[in-house]
Amino acid sequence: MLTSELKKDIQTAYSTLLESKSLKARYGQRLMIAEVARTLTSDRIHSSGSDGSNEESGPVCVVEAGTGTGKTIAYAVAAIPVAQALEKTLVISTATVALQEQIVYKDLPDILQHSGLSFNFALAKGRGRYLCLSKLDGILQATLASNESLALYPDEIQLGVDAQALPIFQNMLTALSSGDWDGDRDSWTEELDAPVWSMVTTDHAQCTGRRCANIGQCCFYKGREQLGKVDVIVANHDLVLADLSLGGGAILPDPEDIIFVFDEGHHLPEKAINHFAQFSRVKSTERWLDQGLKVLAKAGPVLANDGGIGRHMSQLPSIMETLKELLGLLFVSLEGVVSMEPDRRGSIQPHRFKQGIVPQSLLAQSTEIAAQFRNMHNLMDSCCQILNEAMEESDHAISRINAETWFPPFSMIRSRAESNYSLWGDYSRAKVAEDPPRGRWIEIVEGVAGNLDFEVSSSPIIAANTLSHYLWSRCYAAVVTSATLTALGSFDRFKMRAGTPESTTYAVVPSPFDFNAAGELVVPAMSSDPSDADAHTIELITLLPTLLKDSEGSLVLFASRRQMEQVFDGISLTWQQRILVQGKYPKHEVLRLHKAAVDEGEGSVIFGLASFAEGVDLPGIYCNHVIIAKIPFAVPDQPVESALAEWIESRGGNPFMDITVPDAALKLVQASGRLLRTETDMGRVTLLDRRIVSRRYGQAMLDSLPPFRRVVN
């Protein structure tokens, strides 16, 4: 319940912050503060599931807050006092590193300084961002453990400890010993290549946790212990999902003790789908089975039959050889299933199984492969348990040093076996369509040394069930916010994809911008239709020079790289010299060069794709004109999107109107949102696609855009 005392604390913090920074209260910001505070102090909700079971979820609110609302202040000022009063940890999760760093290094320190609130905060990172002391020791001592653990993944880039890498590792040890470095990759002063860093970091599968001899100095666990002592943790969606998939509490506190705020929350469903997808490559799996056999062969004489581990190890080679044979037969079978013929664009398309149903022949092979991986996993798990015991018991038959040496490579093999068992077990059960179905497909990919390989995949097509199970049912409470959560004026798209509880509250709070006065939406007369790509491209080449001004900052957004490059190649040399094309420079460098040119009064134009239509901040003179080449309709040619469209159609829906149009409308809002970034910005958005006024879906798209003045020629 939102008590009067807690309400007063929130109001005082907000008014203190405004007064301290000489700011005026924003209507949308006040509405958001009230909505967040009210939701987070509500009781857990009990409801009946579709199967008649009793379901429970924490209170959830979804708030769309337009650009300029100041949503970080809104949710922080409301959620921090509530979390402290309820003795819960506030976890703020973002989708991008840029926003994560802004919150940690700018927003939260600013709120702490000016609001009168007293709280502490920390940035959460996964194991992969920290040095593993055991791996570093192993490399510097040239132990067997380092050599074996690095050899398990022949499908990934591996480096030996060469003359260039060794001094880096020695410097790391010196910096750690002197206290000049905390083991965090992001605070290392020099740039580190990914293959070099991978040699001295670890993951959940390899980490021996509290049993590690270096636990007292472990960089990751020091960072994790810090998280248990702070009021606010700043994380990212991937880290939160990884923690939840491990049962919660592996990196972050238990979900039941967390109040989540998902900033950039429109990315959450997509992130969840990607995180819970499964895949395996056939030839690559054969190769790591070979490497695993070599590991076992070298471990055998060292571990012998100490502690009974030899009994389990002796059964593994025959199972792994059987798996290699089964995978070889599978590869031959898949050659008859997957078409090798390229499409008109020269690409070989993935073979997707309709409704996720796998044919009988593949079901039988999948069942046999799954059974062998299950046996392999169980035996490897027994070996790892024995090694775990050896690390804990001083009088164990296996010495602690041998257990610590062999646990990481054994655990890596176990993890790979488990993931393959999960994938092939999923395929073996794919006899009938689920609701919603999983997407299942096979894709031809380039393997080691340029040889072709088959990648077998399975994925949820929407994240609703996954998020309901792992997140909404477990967290204490949650806030989801973004500038773009509605599509065509409704939250229906987000509800379907995110599976938010029935009791969720939804709100749209207004931006402080006067869109009508500050911006203009122009749809010029055109003779071509984007459905005729060649004619549309030719007209863009002619039209763009008449729309662009050589003295201002402009952003031109394309839906396809092919059209962007064709337009650039066809435009005059005079304009080419003013245009920065995405891909020719890194994104950050494109933005730097653009701003530098505008600062010099020369004007500059950016040609960009989807990544420039979201999250790019070009305030004031840096962007007076946003030109959108065409409505960004996505072609559902990827397996997950195709499976989703198929499912919608099977339920009597229209995939184009139910998925494609809302998705495109959302992208249009994001693209047009690049124009006004502050309350003093002015400019225009030009859409070079007459379908917005000629098609029946166009009016709904127009109405979902910011209320700019409209000029339709």
Q: Is residue 700 located within the same domain as residue 586? A: yes
Contacts 24+ apart (CB under 8 A), 169-176: 169/136, 169/139, 169/140, 169/199, 169/200, 170/140, 172/131, 172/136, 172/200, 173/136, 173/140, 176/131, 176/133, 176/217, 176/219
**192 in a structural domain:** no
**51 in a structural domain:** yes
pLDDT in tens, 533-585: 999 999 999 999 999 998 899 999 999 999 999 999 999 999 999 999 999 99
Measuring CA to CA, which residue among 557, 463, 502, 77 is closest to residue 237? 463
- As a whole number of angstroms, the distance between CA 352 and CA 83 comes to 46
Q: Is residue 110 located within the same domain as residue 253? A: yes
**68 in a structural domain:** yes
Q: Taking a C-beta distance cutoff of 8 angstroms, is the pair 152, 291 a contact?
A: yes
pLDDT at 347: 74
**563 in a structural domain:** yes
Q: Is residue 539 located within the same domain as residue 599? A: yes
- As a whole number of angstroms, the distance between CA 156 and CA 672 comes to 40
Residue at which a domain ends, from 451, 480, 509: 509
Q: Is residue 528 located within the same domain as residue 591? A: yes
Span 454-479, mean pLDDT? Answer: 95
Cα 254 → chain centroid: 21
Give the CA radius of gyration of the chain. Answer: 28
Span 418-442, mean pLDDT? Answer: 95
Report the DSSP pairing between strands 89-94 and 232-236: parallel
pLDDT at 206: 79
Q: Is the torsion defined by CA of 577, 579, 580, 582 positive or negative?
A: negative
429 pLDDT above the threshold of 50? yes
CATH number of the domain at 675, please. Answer: 3.40.50.300
**244 in a structural domain:** yes
Question: For residue 470, what are the contacts with CB-CB under 8 A and spacing of at least 6?
Answer: 241, 244, 245
pLDDT in tens, 503-525: 999 999 999 999 999 999 999 99
Q: Is residue 176 located within the same domain as residue 264? A: no
Q: Is residue 421 located within the same domain as residue 399? A: yes
**327 in a structural domain:** yes
Termini Cα distance of the chain: 54
Residue 183 belongs to domain spanning: 127-187+197-224
Structure-token match 């393997």, residue found: 447
pLDDT in tens, 44-73: 877 654 444 566 788 999 999 998 999 999
pLDDT at 97: 78
pLDDT in tens, 64-114: 999 899 999 999 999 999 999 999 999 999 998 778 889 999 999 999 999
pLDDT at 134: 82
Q: Which helix (H) or strand (E) holds 107?
A: none
Q: Mean pLDDT of all residues in the chain?
A: 90
Q: Is residue 563 located within the same domain as residue 656? A: yes
pLDDT at 144: 39
pLDDT at 145: 41
- DSSP class of residue 659 equals I
Q: Is residue 700 located within the same domain as residue 576? A: yes
Measuring CA to CA, which residue among 488, 483, 553 is closest to residue 512? 483
Q: Is residue 181 located within the same domain as residue 220? A: yes
344 pLDDT above the threshold of 70? no
Report the DSSP pairing between strands 54-57 and 278-281: unpaired
Q: Is residue 65 located within the same domain as residue 139? A: no
Q: Is residue 301 located within the same domain as residue 417? A: yes
pLDDT at 53: 53
- With 0-12 / 13-18 / 19 or more C-beta atoms within 10 angstroms meaning exposed / middle / buried, residue 120 is exposed
Residue 713 CB: number of other CB atoms within 10 A?
A: 9
**606 in a structural domain:** yes
Q: Is residue 534 located within the same domain as residue 455? A: no
Better-scored residue on pLDDT, 502 or 306? 502
Q: Could you tell me what percent of the chain has a pLDDT over 90?
A: 71
How large is the angle between the packed helices 282-303 and 316-335, nearest 10 degrees? 170
Question: For residue 175, what are the contacts with CB-CB under 8 A and spacing of at least 6?
Answer: 181
- With 0-12 / 13-18 / 19 or more C-beta atoms within 10 angstroms meaning exposed / middle / buried, residue 153 is middle
- The total number of structural domains in the chain stands at 4
